[in-house]
Amino acid sequence: MGDWPPQAEAMAIWHRLVDGDPVAPSDLAVAYLDPLAGWLTASSPAIDPALCQTAAEDAILALITRPEAYHPERAALDTYLRVAARGDLKNAIDAETRRRSRTAAIDAVELSPAVRNRLHDDDADPARIVELAETVRERVGQAALPAGVSEGLSAGDREVLALMRVRERRTELYARAMGILHLPIDEQRRQVKRAKDRLNKRLERARE
């Protein structure tokens, strides 16, 4: 992992970015990409390093194209980039979780014969598969979910609920949905269990 540049050097690069110096974007990337991607990878050991690299790139590219978004009086540049990269990583994980939960829905839901035939007939078309999976998931959800259960739930809770309803068992998928993959695995298990218990109680209350 590379060293973080001193704040004085950071400020010089940032001022050049703001002034439109054509070399400043390259200097910023060279100075910060290695330490930022290295830090993100080291602080998120359970996350795919490629996702960390992309998140670090996203944070740097965002600063290059909108340098005025950074306010030097509020934080050091490396702090700003760490927060931005962490946010970009969370967004990437959320997107990956949504993609995986769609796949889980395809695998776990028992399809009606009509839908199964259609899926079989069209299974060479990925777009069609995703569309069918959404339809099946939606119908199963509408059929069995008591009214009001999902009202007021956060996006993370809704993902957890969707995973529970397709009987997903892998802690990793729940942890991704909850944005807690950076925590130790025991803590992930504890928090996932608490979330599932809470949502199960909510379901029970709604059914009463």
Partner 1 sequence: MSDRIAHLADRVRADPFFLASALDVYARSEGIGDAALAERLGCEVETLARLALCRRPAAERFLADVEAIAERFGIDATELAAVVRRADVLEVLSRGMGASGTLMAARDREES
Per CB under 8 A, residues contacting partner 1 are 2, 20-26, 29-30, 33-34, 37, 53, 56-57, 60-61, 64-65
CB of 98 to partner 1, least distance (A): 23
Which CB sits closer to partner 1, 55 or 195? 55
By CB neighbour count within 10 A (0-12 exposed, 13-18 middle, 19+ buried), where does 112 fall? exposed
CA distances (Å), 49 to each of 76, 93, 143, 193, in order?
Answer: 25, 12, 39, 27
Tell me the CB-side half-sphere exposure of residue 106, using CA atoms within 13 A: 16
Which CB sits closer to partner 1, 22 or 152? 22
CB of 68 to partner 1, least distance (A): 15
CB of 151 to partner 1, least distance (A): 41
CB of 13 to partner 1, least distance (A): 12
CB of 41 to partner 1, least distance (A): 10
Which CB sits closer to partner 1, 58 or 94? 58
Which CB sits closer to partner 1, 29 or 161? 29
Which CB sits closer to partner 1, 40 or 109? 40
Q: Give the C-alpha separation, 199 to 158, whole Å.
A: 9
